[in-house]
Amino acid sequence: MGSDENLGKELPIIHFNNESLTPGSSSWVSTSQMIRLALESYGCFVAVCERLISLEMHHKLFDLSKDLFNLPVETKEKSTSEYLGFGYGANFGPFMPLIEYLGITYGSTHEAIKVFTNLMWPDGNDQFCETAYSYTRQLLELMNVVMRMALESYGAEKYYDLLDESAFHMMRLIKYRTPNEDEINVGLHPHVDKTFLGIVDTNHVKGLELQTKDGDWIGFQPSPSNFLILAGEAFTALSNGRVYAPLHRVIIGGAEEKYSIGLFSFMHGTLEIPEEFVDEEHPLQFKPFNNVAYLNYCGGENVISEHAIKEFCGI
């Protein structure tokens, strides 16, 4: 497990272009099937979005992200959230010394990004606010397409509107510094997300690794047009265990700082398991559940246990 040769293996790769994004086209239907297969087998895939998400915006936001983390700790600590684990996090001691993150709760809305920007830069920083907003909207569009296609592949498209209305998002900006000689190189310990879906974008520094069902670790290859689509446990439960939520971790190997930006979706309210996910081969495995209550159940920590969602709402 975790041997370097496995890091040469690839995650599923799915290309998105104007044709695959035209609902009802044959490319839309085949892309939906590929998404279902990837989510069931790996719980993730690399979405290649050449021309769909602006390269210029990607570079600009990663540059601005450096300015953000260069702000004084007292300023960054002002970013708090009503949701556990959504605010500012750093200094986790020798267990996890390299990571520092800032979350923007409701980070797909202009208002939340503006409030966050003014908290960080009391004199304002329009460039950050507008870049972060237009970037998050592009990520959101991709996330929603993935959700729509995934539901459709199970014949469960009628739940899209309900899920879209129930969803709220966290935008998370992360910095991993390089380890000192006496420090561990683990940027983020293995965990399963408690989200519905996530999209992770990174600067050019490698380090994000995902575990397959066989226990092998596969590295995500950074590129400005590659986005990692990652299923969380809320999607596992809603899909009656069909969608897999993979363990993932970040290892900081080289001498460069790693930055990542993620958009994560969570659901408000109680979610019932749609009958489309239940059949003879897949008997009902989960009770109706509340994603936010699950977040609280896990204490805001990225739980290492792969069975927490089963303990929480499994049958």
Ligand X SMILES: O=C(O)CCC(=O)C(=O)O
Q: Which residues bind ligand X (CB under 6 A)?
A: 172, 174, 188, 193, 200, 202, 208, 248, 250, 260, 262
209 part of the interface to Fe ion, by CB under 5 A:
no
291, 271 in Cβ contact below 8 A? yes
Candidate ranges 50-58, 84-92, 191-199, 207-215; the one touching Fe ion (CB under 5 A): 191-199
Q: What are the Cα distances from residue 178, in Å, to 89, 131, 229?
A: 17, 27, 25
200 binds, among Fe ion, ligand X, none (CB under 5 to 8 A by kind): ligand X
202 binds, among Fe ion, ligand X, none (CB under 5 to 8 A by kind): ligand X
Candidate ranges 109-117, 144-152, 185-193, 203-211; the one touching Fe ion (CB under 5 A): 185-193
Distance, CA of 101 to CA of 272 (rounded, Å): 32
193 part of the interface to Fe ion, by CB under 5 A:
yes
Smallest separation (angstroms) from ligand X to the CB of 162: 25
Q: Which of residues 145-164 bind Fe ion (CB under 5 A)?
A: none
233 part of the interface to Fe ion, by CB under 5 A:
no
113 binds, among ligand X, Fe ion, none (CB under 5 to 8 A by kind): none
76, 103 in Cβ contact below 8 A? no
35 binds, among Fe ion, ligand X, none (CB under 5 to 8 A by kind): none
- Angle among Cα 85, 160, 299 to the nearest 5 degrees reads 15
Q: What is the DSSP letter of 183?
A: S
Q: What is the DSSP letter of 286?
A: B
Which pair of tokens denotes residue 58? 């990607």
6, 214 in Cβ contact below 8 A? no
273 binds, among ligand X, Fe ion, none (CB under 5 to 8 A by kind): none
Smallest separation (angstroms) from ligand X to the CB of 62: 13
Within 8 A by CB and 6+ apart from 181, the residues are: none
Q: Which residue is at the shortest CB distance from ligand X? A: 260
Q: What is the DSSP letter of 249?
A: E
Q: What is the contact surface with Fe ion in residues (CB under 5 A)?
A: 193
